[in-house]
Chains A and B, each alone.
Chain A
């Protein structure tokens, strides 16, 4: 024991360090944080690899093809758009995993096992507990997703010559701005709400996953209605079937983001309300 006390005391003298509830949340959910960091690094590395390693090979091949009479079968471009598609999908759909984790591991299991009540039996009120449980992952999600969005924007523009997707395709549409971050935060809030409502990890996992899946599909189908479409009279270029010019990307994207954030705020409010009603 004395060694642990001494270790704690020395750590305290080494300037600022994590304390209190923040330390507890980070320590308890350390594996999840490591997985998140690995995911961000992997996706970032994959985009750099596609652009600089495999993309360079494809470009060399394309240049060689152009010199051949009659051209050649374009296999490498296909592999590029496969990579590009997977990257876009894995970033755009990360919120499914976040919702499942938040429902099951962050909140549901804690209430099921009684470790949430253990925290509340210390000097921590349920409201403060939920605040830390939401704030710490929210910071990690914001930092990680911001990195991914910035790298993805660069990647999407840099691979313009090879890419197969348009601005209005579902994944690039989400991934090139704050909408994908809004989804991550919304998934966190929906997961927390499911965890508090159901108080068991497995049902919370299923319900949170199902809710965010349904919401994602619903928004996918309706986001183009969030900004008035222009009647078709343009001069060509990239046109969305329902007559959105490429210049509508930001208005549409920001409207979509605000819809997702509204749902996130409502879910967060409901989670606090339910927790306060259950405990006193």
Chain B
């Protein structure tokens, strides 16, 4: 039994032959088992590409990825994946779709779990998939994924078509199921609010690169929101700063004590994510778990991965 759900090493994927067509580049991440991880980033950040690699649906252009201690294809049976557009066969009924889940996962299928999720949505088992709404299709796709009883559940924008009530209810089912069975959940989204309160791990991607990675509380603790009169913030690492009149508001990674005269606050998840998205030049930060077997340092390791401007010159920046 491994304690790592997903580990990538310099994973890169280029679609087509264009020089600038990298969907994902230099992606080095580690996700311990049992976590509920949010993969956040703007559209085109590489979230779907990362999840599809983990699901064994794409071959990387460079680097490598291992899932549940083995290759994605060897772990196929132990993980479930729901793609962004929730593909299902439109000509099949709900019951036939669930039967397909049983037929294609002969050693793992739990019909009761899948049936409960479909039942909670009030879906008619005899209705064809093509007659369902987007949200109902999402429910069937999630039933297919959870019915497999996966050790790792990969969900690409799972809640996008659901109404708030169904979203809340399905998220509850998902998290309860994950807590009961120790399932690792990886969920991508560009709606940060959707993830707040349900995740304990964060991967923030931008422009095909890792911007932030680590346990959510450790990432938040590593940042401080400071407000004060304009002045020098050295030696701290400034992620983003905005000046309004003679006031400056900045998200920093403190290096040592913050001078008196600055008002400090803990950033919210949304503030943390937005500040990094607004400042694409900010250095990347990867934190590992404290007390974790794979810990490389005393609590946290900063890896500088400073992406240059968008003109394509790639410089691996100095360590923070």
Q: Which residues of A contact B (CB under 8 A)?
A: 1-5, 8, 19-21, 23-24, 27-28, 31, 113-115, 117-125, 277-280
Contacts and interface: CB of A to CB of B under 8 A. Distances in A.
A26 to B, nearest CB: 11
Contact of A122 (B71, B105, B112, B125): B105
A4 B93 CA distance: 11
B171 interface: no
Contacts of B30: none
A1 B122 CA distance: 11
A254 B69 CA distance: 52
Contact of B58 (A27, A119, A279): A279
Contact of A27 (B55, B96, B116): B96
Contact of A120 (B76, B82, B125): B76
Given A4-B99, A123-B108, A125-B73, 20 more contacts: A1-B98, A1-B111, A1-B119, A4-B125, A5-B112, A8-B99, A20-B103, A21-B103, A23-B99, A23-B100, A24-B100, A28-B89, A115-B88, A115-B89, A117-B81, A117-B83, A122-B148, A124-B104, A279-B56, A280-B56
B16 to A, nearest CB: 13
A2 B114 CA distance: 11
Contacts of A5: 111-112, 115
Interface string B37-65: 00000000000000010011111100000
Contacts, number: 103
Nearest to A31: B91
B89 A123 contact: no
A114 B71 contact: no
A20 B87 contact: no
Interface residues of B, number: 45
B97 to A, nearest CB: 10
22 contacts: A1-B118, A2-B115, A5-B115, A8-B99, A8-B111, A19-B103, A21-B103, A24-B100, A24-B103, A27-B100, A28-B91, A115-B89, A117-B57, A120-B55, A121-B82, A121-B145, A123-B108, A123-B148, A279-B56, A279-B58, A279-B59, A280-B71
A250 B102 CA distance: 48
Nearest to B101: A122
A155 B319 CA distance: 83
Nearest to A19: B103
Contact of B59 (A24, A27, A114, A280): A280
A13 to B, nearest CB: 15
Nearest to B58: A279
Nearest to A4: B95
B295 interface: no
Q: Which 10 A-B pairs have the closest CB atoms?
A: A114-B87, A1-B115, A122-B104, A121-B81, A280-B59, A123-B77, A4-B95, A123-B105, A115-B87, A20-B103
Main SS of chain A's interface residues?
Answer: helix
B125 A24 contact: no
B80 interface: yes
Contacts of A277: 59
A17 to B, nearest CB: 11
Contacts of B92: 27-28
Given A24-B104, A118-B88, A4 B83 contact: no
Contacts of B91: 28, 31
Nearest to B115: A1
Contacts of B108: 123
A3 to B, nearest CB: 7
A5 to B, nearest CB: 5
B125 A1 contact: yes
A117 B87 contact: yes
B308 interface: no
Interface in B20-35: none
Contacts of A20: 103-104, 106
Contacts of B82: 121
A199 B81 CA distance: 20
A218 to B, nearest CB: 31
A123 B125 contact: no
A118 B90 CA distance: 13
Contacts of A278: 58-59
B56 A123 contact: no
